[in-house]
Amino acid sequence: MSARSKARKRALDMLFQADVRGEELRSVVLAESGRASAEPDRMESWLYAREIVDGVEDHREQIDELISSYAQGWSLDRMPNVDRALLRVAAWEILFNDEVPAPVAIDEAVELAKEYSTEDSSRFVNGVLGKIAEHARNV
């Protein structure tokens, strides 16, 4: 697994944990930072995971608005927590990280959905992110 794939998983874990436990994201990131500093071989994935989480937090309103717009029939509150976190991670990459092609961000999110979410989540995540990528191309 590439460092970026590991970083996406770490970012997913942090966003999911903060969401499910109702914790401040800052606290979750601080705890994860401590673990990362104790494991130097994970530093590369930690740095990108932190960039993702900070980016999601900085642009949460815009990201959530787009997710809500394209998740037909699903409010953010009604989505499985894992799907919501995955959509935020990938949407940030699509919208704000020029180094990651949209198809890569979508594929990575779909694979994580297959591994960690419901049977239907991968199709749902793929559909929403495809629409967000189309939106990004048109702005």
- The CATH number assigned to the domain holding 107 equals 1.10.940.10
- Domain of 64, in residue numbers: 3-138
Give the total number of structural domains in the chain.
Answer: 1
Q: Which of residues 125 and 44 earns the better pLDDT score?
A: 125
Q: What angle do CA 84, 139, 112 make, to 5 degrees?
A: 25
Q: Region 6-26: what's the mean pLDDT?
A: 93
CB 66 within 8 A of CB 132: yes
Task: Pick 74 or 35 by higher pLDDT.
Answer: 74
Give pLDDT, residue 139. Answer: 81
Q: Is the pTM of this model over 0.85?
A: yes
User: How far apart are alpha carbons 85 and 36 in whole angstroms?
Assistant: 21
